[in-house]
Structure formats: C-alpha cells, structure tokens
Amino acid sequence: MKDEKIVNLLSMAQRAGRVASGDTAAREAFSGHKAKCVILARDAAEDTKKLYRNMAEKAGIPVYEAMDKESLGNAIGKAQRAAAVLLDRGFSDALKKRLESNQ
C-alpha cells in the first residue's frame, strides 16, 4: 500500500493523543495555536478543503492531501474524516518526509 507509512504514522500520532479530527476538535486546535499541519482527504469537498486551507494559511502551517476520507478515518481509528490536524511538530515533520518519499 502506497500510503502504509502515512497510515502507520497517523495511527501512532492518534495513540499519542496528537491528532485532532472532527470539526470542533480541529477548530479548537487552530484557535489554541496547537495545530502543526493539516492532512486533507483527497475526496473531501472543495468547500471543506478551502476552509482548512484558509485556517492553515492564517496559522502559517502546511496542508497536505493524502488518501481518501475512509482511509484517513481508519488510520486514526475513527469514522470517515475529511481532515485531521497534527498537534506535534515531530509527527508533522515525519509526515512531510513520508509524503515527499511517496512522490
């Protein structure tokens, strides 16, 4: 699976309590200045992508698109998710490396 390393990383981050997902948790991560990067599902609605990109731009954090909503949700042990917010710089940096190595 192309995204296996990404799934493993997101799963570890979730177990460590370093992922915010769902609209309320994600917004709280941004308002509390805890967000370090955003992962958007490739099949998320364009309005959703625009919303998260705008919040990330204001916060000065990167946005990545990876996997579909079902896979993103499964990676963090949840139902389908359009977006997940990493709350840890180390996990964010590791995600960036894994995404770059997939290209």
Quick one: pLDDT at residue 32?
A: 93
* pLDDT for 34: 96
What letter would DSSP give residue 35?
A: -
Strands 37-40 and 63-65, sheet pairing: parallel
The CATH fold of domain 4-102: 60s Ribosomal Protein L30; Chain: A; (3.30.1330)
* Averages of pLDDT over each 10 residues, the chain, 103 residues: 81 97 92 95 96 96 94 95 96 90 67
What's the pLDDT at 95?
92
Which residues share a beta bridge with 84?
Answer: 21, 39
Instruction: Specify the pLDDT at position 103.
Output: 55
pLDDT value for 1: 44
The pLDDT score that the predictor gives to residue 2 is 57
Q: How is the chain split into domains, by residue range?
A: 4-102
